[in-house]
Amino acid sequence: MKIESPRFSFPKQAAIMSTALAFSLLGLPFMLSGCTHDAQSAMVQQLKLPHKGEVDMDETIPSTGFVTIQPEQMKEIHLTTEVVRQHKMVKEVCLTGQVEPDSNITTPVISLVPGRIEKCFVQLGDVVKEGQKLAFIRSDDIAQIEAELLKNVLDFEADIDQARFQLALCEKIYGRHKQLFSEGISARADLDTAENEYQKAQVALETLKDKREALITTARERLRLYGVEKDELDRVLAKKKIDDDFYMLAPRDGIITERNADVGQLIDNMHNIFIVTDLRQVWLTAQAFEKDIHLIKKGQSVAVTVNSYPDKVFPGKVDYTGVMLDTASRTMPVRATVQNPQIILKPEMFANMRVEIGETQALSIPFESVRKTGEATVAYVVLGNNRFEERKIEVGRKLGSSVEILKGLRPGETVVAHGSLQLQGQMLKQLSE
C-alpha cells in the first residue's frame, strides 16, 4: 500500500504555524518559572536580540548575571571604578622548598682536648656574641700544657738571670780594659778580647730572651687552638701557678642551634658541644621541574614567602643550581641565599620561592574589585545606564594593591573598585527574590 504524505494549502500551513507560535509564547512564562535562575538567563539570552552597547560575550568571558542600581545608591556607597589595563610584571618561576641554615656562617664548637663540663652558660636558642662564654671546662691536658710551659719558662728565666750576670761581668771587664788601654797600660789585644766577650754575652742574653718569647708564643697558640682565652697564659705566668680549666667561647655572633652539653659530662674532640648559627641569612633549597631548568640561572633575584607570615616577602638570590636531576622526581635542586634580618625564617620551614626570570605584560585590577561567590571569583563590569555585569574571572599574583587577571576581562573594560561588596549583596538579593 502506498502511503502519501498529507498535502496542505499555503493558507492552511500559515494558520497552523501561527497557532503553534501563539501557544509557544503563552507557555513561555510557565517554562521559565520551572527553570533555575541560570537556565532562565540562558533561555532569555537565546530569545532576545542584543541591545546596542551590550557586551557581546563569548565562551572565554563567562557572565554570571546582571545587576542594576540607581545613581543615588552609587553615591551612598561611594562607588568608584577602574579601567582594566596592561601593566609590566616580573615573569617568574614558582618553586616550593625548605629553609636551611647557611653552612658558611654556621660554626660547630668542639673541644680539641678531652675534659669535663663544670658549668654551662647557654641554652638552646640563646642569642650569643663572638667571644661570649658558653661553658666552663676542666681538662688535665690543659693543665699538662701549662705545667710544661711554666717549667720551661722558669728554666729560661734562670738562664736569663745567669746571662744577665755574665753580661754585667763582661761589661765591667771591657770597661776596665778600655781605661787601661787609654792610659797605655793594657795592650790592644787584651781590649779586643774583652770587647769580644762583652758582645758575645749580649748576644747570648738576647738569644735566651727570644727563645723564651717563642716558647710562650707557641704555648699561647696551642692553648688558643684548644679554646683557652689568650689572657689565660699571662695569668699562669704572673701567678706561677697552673690552671686545669678554661672557658669554651662562642666563635661568632649567632644563635645556639645545637647543644650537647650537660654539667658533669665528659667530652672529647670528636663531637660538637654546641653549634652557633647566624640566621640573619639562610638558604632555601627547592626542586625545579625539568621544563624550568633552562630558565633558572645563578644570580637571579628571588622573592620568598611563608604561610605563617603571608604579607612578608624575603629577598634573596639564586646561588646554586644542581648539576644532576633526581631520577625519580625528574627535578633539579635550586638554592637561594635569603636575607632574614629579623630571624623570622626558621630552619625546616616550608617556603614558596619565586625566581625572577624576566618581564612580561599582564592585565590587572584593584584587589578590592575581586569578590568570591561560592567557588567562583567575580568582578563587576560597568555596562552603562546604571547596569553592571557580574563576570567570572581567574586571578594570578597579587601586585601590591592590585591583582593579576588571567582570564575573564579585556583591556579597556571598566570594573567597580570600591562598592563591589555592595553590588555583590544586591546580586544575591536579586537571586533570592
* pLDDT digits 0-9 by tens, 188-201: 888 889 899 999 99
* pLDDT digits 0-9 by tens, 128-144: 999 999 999 888 888 88
For position 50, what pLDDT does the model report?
36
The confidence band for 24, taking pLDDT boundaries of 50, 70 and 90, is: very low
All three cell numbers of 38, joined, read 541560570
* pLDDT digits 0-9 by tens, 166-191: 999 999 998 988 888 888 887 888 88
pLDDT of 28 strictly over 60: no
* pLDDT digits 0-9 by tens, 261-297: 899 999 888 889 999 999 999 999 999 999 999 999 9
Please say whether the beta carbons of 274 and 261 come within 8 A. yes
pLDDT of 59 strictly over 60: no
Q: Measure CA of the first residue to CA of the last residue in the chain; give whole Å.
A: 60
Please say whether the beta carbons of 115 and 228 come within 8 A. no
For position 1, what pLDDT does the model report?
33
For position 61, what pLDDT does the model report?
62
pLDDT of 15 strictly over 90: no
For position 360, what pLDDT does the model report?
82
For position 148, what pLDDT does the model report?
82
Name the average pLDDT for the chain: 82
